[in-house]
Structure 1
Amino acid sequence: MKRTKKVTDQTIQQLIDIAARLFSENGYHDVSLEEIVQTAQLTRGAVYHHFKNKKGLFYAVFEQTHERVAEEINKVDEEIQNPWEQLIQGCLLFVQTVSKETFYRILLIDGPAVLGWQTFRELDQKHSMRLLQEQIEYLQKNGTIKKTSSAALTSALSGAINDLSLWVAEQKDKEEATKEAENIINGILNGFRK
């Protein structure tokens, strides 16, 4: 029984990994289910069994990609002790990570288009926005950030860093664009600092 579950989990992960690579390289609409199953050397039935359809597989890819970004941001808390710097560096790391080709198409281009805005927001709130709001609320409690609606500030900052990620991804000079993004993030957040 354990072996069957292990094989099932491996098959699911294989499909997610292959689909993530193809979606990030070509975009959701230019990847066929047939291409995914041929690359995985599986049958369409495997996809239908585990994900129902291509959109269900994309949902799994989107969620796992979000989880990977959240894991990267969590590392900032382990490396940096200053909570204010954690917020700044966490936002910057989000922009740097999500603007990479392997992430931005899935998370910021195809995510809202394929899953719809409501589902996109729910998944964003479950992962990155949750971490952001927790850090903002912590900084409000210790008096670093002015008292304001943490939900509104989280939403505004999340929108800004999502858009900054797209902007950085579109620039030829990523290093210079990342410096500009850091200036913007600092400017926005310093406006709320006590």
Structure 2
Amino acid sequence: MQQGTARRSNRQRTEETRDKLISAARRLFVEKSYAETGTPEIVAAAGVTRGALYHHFADKQALFQAVAEREAAAVAEDIERRSGDAASPVDALLAGGKAYLAAMAEPGRTRLLLLDGPAVLGRAAMDEIDDRHGNRTLREGLAAGMRAGLIRRLPLDPLTGLLAAAFDRAALSIEAGADAGACTAALAGLIEGLAATASKG
């Protein structure tokens, strides 16, 4: 019993240390940029030792990847939460689109996922992260719409990638000062266009 409690306690401490490192790194990467942030600053902000950092992460890039993974997961969770009660697959896609843009408005998130992410990790690694999270929810929504005959049947992976790129571009534009309502309306038009095409067929 005591051994089991000790194992849980050790695991909890390990998870807490990892969480502190990821949270501190996120804050510094947003405030200063990835390139301008050193590992001594991260461990100081996290209140842990340098050895603890390298116990959990091979290097600063691996820590950045953990930050990006957490941010992408948070976006996907928001999308799923806000679109889960939609009346139809098309409504779910529309709600998910709004949820994506709202989630990306979290300070620093657009920079981390859409600018620094590809620069630090490479486009292929960021695509893998996206495919586990936001792009997965989009692909599932499109597939559900196609199965229901509400979305035009098109090659699923290319369609997912192209729509995801449009959403990413909208997030970047909004970050730069574009009208969020106009971007949301334009993206909704893309989805509604696919639905309208399906209904004609």
Q: TM-score, structure 2 length as denominator?
A: 0.90
Preserved contact between residue 96 and residue 178 of structure 1 (Cα < 8 Å): no
**Which residue of 2 is the match for residue 111 of structure 1?**
117
Q: Whose Rg is larger?
A: 2
Q: Is the 8 A contact 2:24 2:46 kept in 1?
A: yes
User: How large is the Cα RMSD of the aligned pairs?
Assistant: 1.3
Identify unmatched segments of 5+ residues in structure 2.
1-6
TM alignment of 1:1-194, pairs within 5 A:
1-171=7-177, 177-193=179-195, 194=198
User: 1:82, CA displacement in angstroms?
Assistant: 2.9
Tell me if structure 2 keeps the 8 A contact 1:136–1:154.
Answer: yes
1:36 Cα offset (Å): 0.6
- What CA deviation, in whole Å up to 9, does each residue of 1:3-50 have, x standing for no partner? 111111100011111111111222211211111111112221111110
Could you give the per-residue CA deviations for residues 93-146 of structure 1, whole angstroms, max 9, x where no partner exists? 212221332311111111000000110111111111111011001001111111
Count of aligned positions: 190
Moved over 4 A (4+): none
SS in 1 for 2:157: helix
Alignment gaps of 5+ in structure 1 = none
TM-score (norm 1): 0.93
8 A contact 2:89–2:142 mirrored in 1: no
Secondary structure of residue in 1 paired with 2:138: helix
d(CA) in 2 for partners of 1:5, 1:192:
48
Is the Cα–Cα contact under 8 Å of residues 27 and 105 in structure 1 kept in the other structure?
A: no
Which protein has greater RCO, CA pairs closer than 8 Å, 6+ apart?
1
Between the aligned partners of 2:132 and 2:176, the Cα distance in structure 1 is 27
